[in-house]
Amino acid sequence: MKTDEGAEKPHKNLTTFLIEKPAGFGEVVPGITIPGKIEKMGYKGIDTTELVFDGYRAPATDILGGEPGKGFGHMMDGVEVGRVNVSARACGVALRSFELAAKYAQQRRTFGKAIVDHQAIAFKLAEMATKVEAAHLMMVNAARLKDSGDRNDVAAGMAKYLASEYCAEVTQESFRIHGGYGYSKEYEIERLMREAPFLLIGEGTSEIQKTIISKGVLRSYGL
């Protein structure tokens, strides 16, 4: 929230407030309204809704850290953690999609043999496994940098970009390996196909990550 229009720098004009959200929907306290749940195509393990502030007055004790003007730093720190978090989730979805594909490819038979014995499927699995491993290594690297206290905006952006894109690719390949069965809710891959797209946009799209990465690269290699 903007709290000091006279701040010498724009990012010093932002303050983070930590406000307890009451349970329920509607106007839960004067000035705070929580509309109904937003229905989503995936990511159903947690409810999503808007939080509408209209005339709400927050006391100074609600300022995160007790000091105004630090909101930009709080948000950037949270975004970096969030990008590592999304990377980890993408790794998990990709790994599970790969596991399902590898298992199904050994069970499903065509032309007298398991489909994994067809080179087209075997090569798909090889590519999927490599993408899963590469994404996991980048995610772990970004997490370790964050834990060390070093700057990790570029590493987090790279991990989030690669892991989410690879997750979408691996999940789709698993879906294709399952054939028509993958379209049925009876098979787990159907759910993963709905989970993967959110990871492409959560904590910033791939285009946002590329912007961050390119600026970081130019800081290191600029003339």
Active site residue 203: yes
91-97-98 Cα angle (round to 5): 90
Note the pTM of the prediction, 2 decimals. Answer: 0.86
Edge to edge, what strands does the sheet with 52-53 contain? 26-29, 32-34, 52-53
What are the extents of the domains in the chain?
72-221
Q: What is the pLDDT of residues 5-34, one digit of tens each?
A: 666 766 677 888 998 888 889 999 899 999
Q: Which residues of the chain form beta strands (DSSP E)? A: 26-29, 32-34, 52-53, 109-110, 113-114
Topology given in CATH for the domain delimited by 72-221: Butyryl-CoA Dehydrogenase, subunit A; domain 3 (1.20.140)
Report the C-alpha gap between 57 and 32 in whole angstroms.
Answer: 10
Sign of CA dihedral 87, 88, 90, 94: positive
Burial of 75 (0-12, 13-18, 19+ CB in 10 A): middle
Among 27, 67, 203, 207, the one annotated catalytic: 203
Q: What is the pLDDT of residues 59-80, one digit of tens each?
A: 889 888 888 878 777 777 778 8
